[in-house]
Amino acid sequence: MGAMTSPTDAPAPVVHASGTFTIGEDLPVHRLGFGAMRITGPGIWGDPPDRDAAIALLRRAVELGVDFIDTADSYGPFVSEDLIREALHPYDGIVVATKGGLTRQGPDHWAPVGHPYYLRQCVEMSLRRLGVDRIDLYQLHRIDANVPLADQLGVLVDMQREGKIRHLGLSQVSVAELDAAREHMDVMTVQNLYNLGDRHSEDVLATCERDGIGFIPWFPVAAGPLARPDGPLAALVARTGVPAAQLSLAWLLARSPVMLPIPGTSSVAHLEQNCAAAAVVLDDETSEALDALAG
C-alpha cells in the first residue's frame, strides 16, 4: 500500500525560500514580492493589451507564494488597482501596498501633487478601488517640493488614526528626507531605486537596516551595461548557469535582511523565472563578484 500524502507534506511555494520580513512588527510578508506597474498598458498608461492575461499573471504570482504586492493609483492610472481587486480580492493572506501623490498626464508622464486634500482623495479612492476598509501599507509616492512636508504627511497620519491606513511608507527619498519625515510619522518602509547596477541609495539602505525599516528596491532586476554579452554579469551567468535576472534578485535578497524586492513583469514566464530567484543560493565567489560590480 502506497504512502499517503497530506496537504502539509506539499512543498512550500518557491517564493517562501526568500524568507520573511515583518513590516511594522505586525505584518509579516515573504521578502520576494511583485510590483504591479507593468500589468497596465504601454507607458504605464491605460488598460493592458490582454486583461485576462494580466489577471492570470497576478493569480500565478500568488500560486508561486507571493504575498506582498506593490501598486499605486498612478499605474494606469487606476488600472493596476482595479486589476488586483478583480484578480485577488478579498486578499486572503496577501498584503497589497499602494501609493499616492503622483498624477498622470499621459504615457510616461508623472507629476507630484502633495496637497493634503488631494492625498486624502487618493487614499479614499484606493480604498474603494481595492475594496478594503484599511490599506495595509500606504506610501507617499513622491514628496512634493511645493507643499510643506508636515502638511503632506499630516493628512496621511490623520487617516492612519482614522483606521484607514495600517502602516506608512515613503518612496524615492534621501536620508535627510527620511529623517525629516520621521519627525512627523512612523516610517515602516522606503521604496527607492536600487539594483545591482545602481546603488546610489546605499546610505538609505544602511539607515533602514539599522532601524528595521523595510527597503523596497524598485527596478530591481535592471542590470544595464553589466549584462551586455561581453560584460561581467554575462560572464557570471555563463559560469553559474543562473540567468541574469535571478542573479540580480538573489544578490538583493542576500544584500540585507530588510530588502523586499518587487520585480514586475507582464509575462508569466518572466514571473516564474523571477520567483525562482528566491531559491538561488550564491556561493562566496559569485557573491564577491556581484558585490564588486560598480553601481
Quote the pTM value. 0.95
Catalytic residue numbers read: 75
pLDDT tens per residue across span 31-41 = 999 999 999 99
Look-up of cell digits 516564474 = 272
- Give the pLDDT of residue 255: 97
Q: How distant is the alpha carbon of residue 278 from its chain centre? A: 15
CB 62 within 8 A of CB 88: yes
- Domains (ranges, CATH) in the chain? 29-223+251-281 (3.20.20.100)
The secondary element (H helix, E strand) that includes residue 274 is: helix 268-276
pLDDT in tens, the chain (295 residues): 344 444 556 688 999 999 999 999 999 999 999 999 999 999 999 999 999 999 999 999 999 999 999 999 999 999 999 999 999 999 999 999 999 999 999 999 999 999 999 999 999 999 999 999 999 999 999 999 999 999 999 999 999 999 999 999 999 999 999 999 999 999 999 999 999 989 999 999 999 999 999 999 999 998 777 777 887 888 899 999 999 999 999 999 999 999 999 999 999 999 999 999 999 999 999 999 999 986 5
CB 82 within 8 A of CB 73: no
Q: Which residues contact 131 (CB under 8 A, 6 or more apart)?
A: 85, 89, 90
CB 88 within 8 A of CB 103: no
Q: How far apart are alpha carbons 52 and 295 in whole angstroms?
A: 38
pLDDT tens per residue across span 139-149 = 999 999 999 99
